[in-house]
Chains A and B, each alone.
Chain A
Amino acid sequence: MGRGGASQSRTRLRDRYNSWLRHHRLSAADSLHRVLEHPWSSMLTWMVIGIALALPVGLNVALDNAQTISTSWDSPAQISVFLEADVTSLTARKLTLELATRDDIAKTVFHSREDALAEFSTLTGFSDVLASLDQNPLPHLIIVSPHADGAQNTAALLQEELQARPEVAQAVLDMEWLARLNSLMELSRRIILAVGGLLVMGVVLILGNTIRLAIENRRDEIVIVKLIGGSDAFVRRPFLYTGLWFGVGGGGISAFLVGLSLWFLERPVNNLALLYQSDFTIHGLGIMGGLNLIVLGGLLGLSGAALAVSRHLSSIQPR
């Protein structure tokens, strides 16, 4: 009896699992069929979702590319090292060579005070005034370029270190433009995040509304199904699948749109890179990025549908 009971309940469990699976398959197929039955209105929904997702994703990809460009630029910052007045030309040259051997420094260029004075006088035309000076007032100058892959603060550290040396009168880090660029990028990233958040919310609401209309259209059917014993999960299932299909389609469209715009930009960007003798190439979403977008769309579709279903299904009861 015990054995028989156990195996019987196991087959009943298997039966229930099978019928559950069967209804999932049925709902998925039926919902897909309904979505494809009205290709134009479904396409419209897909496009709306696709565009709403493509905007932030596309901007983010563009920003990623911009960031690769800005970090791949040579010498993001330069340090002008002015030496003390009593440092001789020989010491200065030695120092220039010594600094050039450091790992964190890419390049050093020495400008002697004599060169500087000559340049100054030809540029300003004050040669007579300068000739009358009995002493050259200009210091020796070494232009130091930190390594490109070094972050902003390694350049700053280097500047401090150079400043601390006895031969150095002043080391000036010229990197304001870089800081500005970086904070601009950070700002753009946040704006994209905020806009993206809003658009994602919009997508959920659009899908929720689409599903609400679908529920409204099938009101009679829901009432009948509930009357003849359909559970809440049973009634809910096809609508969740409808949301899923709309979301997945929208995600697919957005991946396509992002891909399309990158393809559109590729030629001019490559030409530009060629002009600047950079080996920069534009980076797209990749297969994984595209799949992620489709999954994201699907999740948003499910959430929108869950929202609509939880708000509207329980109020529909047989009377």
Chain B
Amino acid sequence: MISFERISKRYGEGHDALREVSFKIEKDELVFLTGHSGAGKSTILRLIMLMERPTRGEVVVNGRPLRKIGPRAIPHYRRDIGVVFQNHQLLFDRTVFDNVALPLIICGYDHREVGRRVRAALDKVGLLSRERAMPIALSGGQQQRVGIARAIVAKPTILLADEPTGNLDPALSAEIMHLFEAFNQVGVTVLIASHDLALISRLHHRIITLKQGKLIAGGAH
């Protein structure tokens, strides 16, 4: 499903964010990506999203080598991946419903189908009653759940999350992680970057550990 083959990434002329990183994630897996700040977790997710290109090595997603996906093909490729990224949050000038509907609008669903799917997604994250609310009226945990609903509403085969529990208290964080586990149960490949080792080590999934751009544990399974 996702395979990194001796991937190195150097930003500009600076230092190497990733060095010869190799791993494979199968369909139906939920994998955590951990390491200190600056270890290269976000870089791995950005490479999968084609927000960056590797300096060396090959990334293959769903059997497609990403090297072969040109700029014009990127949008279509991204529609098959749901993302929950910290710095790309909700649009605060539209309702919860409109935020979650965005990926479906992009895919061109008609409005009846959009309504049906958005409500199904909001139902899964437990926010069906808040579809008309503005994001600003929601708590941090609820906003995060709206973000997750947006990530899964178009039924992607892969779900990526970068520090999805960043600002949440332990109880809410666990709740969010259980949500990801639920999506994984129905066949979505899930990759979560998190430095919250205490939380993720309790969840019994594979953990890939990075240290200064090198993979030090969890590469094989």
A residues apposed to B, CB below 8 Å = 15-16, 18-20, 22-23, 26, 220-221, 223-232, 234, 317-319
Q: How far is the CB of B39 from chain A (nearest CB, A)?
A: 18
Instruction: Name the prevailing secondary structure of the A interface residues.
Output: helix
**A234→B91 CA distance, assembly (Å):** 17
Q: Does B171 contact A (CB under 8 A)?
A: no
B75 in the interface (beta carbon within 8 A):
yes
B204 close to chain A: CB less than 8 A: no
Q: In the complex the two chains form, is A18's CB within 8 Å of B110's CB?
A: yes
Show 21 residue pairs from A and B whose CB-CB distance is below 8 angstroms, ordered by the A residue. A18-B108, A19-B107, A19-B108, A19-B109, A22-B110, A221-B91, A224-B88, A225-B106, A226-B75, A227-B88, A228-B78, A228-B150, A229-B77, A229-B78, A229-B79, A229-B106, A230-B106, A317-B51, A318-B49, A318-B51, A319-B87
Closest 7 CB pairs of A and B: A19-B108, A229-B79, A229-B78, A231-B75, A230-B106, A229-B75, A228-B103
Tell which of B76, B83, B102, B110 touches A19, judged by Cβ atoms closer than 8 Å. B110
> When the two chains form the complex, which single residue of B102, B108, B150 contacts A22, counting CB atoms closer than 8 Å?
B108
Decide yes or no: A223 and B106 within 8 Å by CB, A231-B75, A318-B49, A319-B51 being known contacts.
Answer: no
The answer to whether B51 and A228 have CB atoms under 8 Å apart is: no
Q: Which residue of A lies closest to B76 (CB)?
A: A229
Report if B85 contacts A (CB, 8 A).
Answer: yes
Query: Do A15 and B102 have beta carbons less than 8 Å apart?
Result: no
Quote the shortest CB–CB distance from B195 to chain A (angstroms): 20
In the complex, whether B197 has a CB less than 8 A from a CB of chain A is no
Q: Is residue B105 contacting chain A, with contact meaning CB distance below 8 A?
A: yes
| Cβ contact of B108, chosen from A15, A223, A225, cutoff 8 A | A15
Interface mask (B161-178 → A, CB under 8 Å = 1, otherwise 0): 000000000000000000
Closest-by-CB residue of A relative to B150 is A228
A228-B83 in contact (CB<8A): yes
Min distance, Cβ A113 to any Cβ of chain B, angstroms? 91
Chain A nearest CB from B130 CB (Å) reads 20
User: Measured between alpha carbons, how far is A221 from B98 in the docked complex, in Å?
Assistant: 12
**Cα-based distance from A15 to B105 in the complex (angstroms):** 13
Set of chain A residues within 8 Å of B76, measured between Cβ atoms: 229, 231
Contact B103 A229 (CB under 8 A): yes
Q: Indicate if the CB atoms of B88 and A223 lie closer than 8 Å.
A: yes
Q: How far does the Cβ of B97 sit from chain A's closest Cβ, in whole Å?
A: 14
Partner among B49, B91, B109 whose Cβ is within 8 Å of the Cβ of A227: B49
Q: Which residues of A contact B77 (CB under 8 A)?
A: 229
Residues in B whose Cβ lies below 8 Å from that of A26: 105
CA distance A225 to B83 in the complex (A): 12
Question: Given the complex of chains A and B, what is the CA–CA distance between A223 and B83 in angstroms?
Answer: 13
Which of B72, B87, B105 is within 8 Å of A23, CB to CB?
A: B105
C-alpha spacing A187/B81, complex, angstroms:
64
- Point out which of A23, A226, A317 has the most chain B C-beta atoms below 10 A from its C-beta: A226
A229 to B79, CA, bound (A): 5
* CB proximity of A17 to chain B, nearest CB, Å: 10
Chain A residue nearest in CB terms to B151: A228
Cα distance, A318 to B75, chains bound together (Å): 12
- Taking CB atoms, residues of chain A closer than 8 Å to B49 are 227, 318
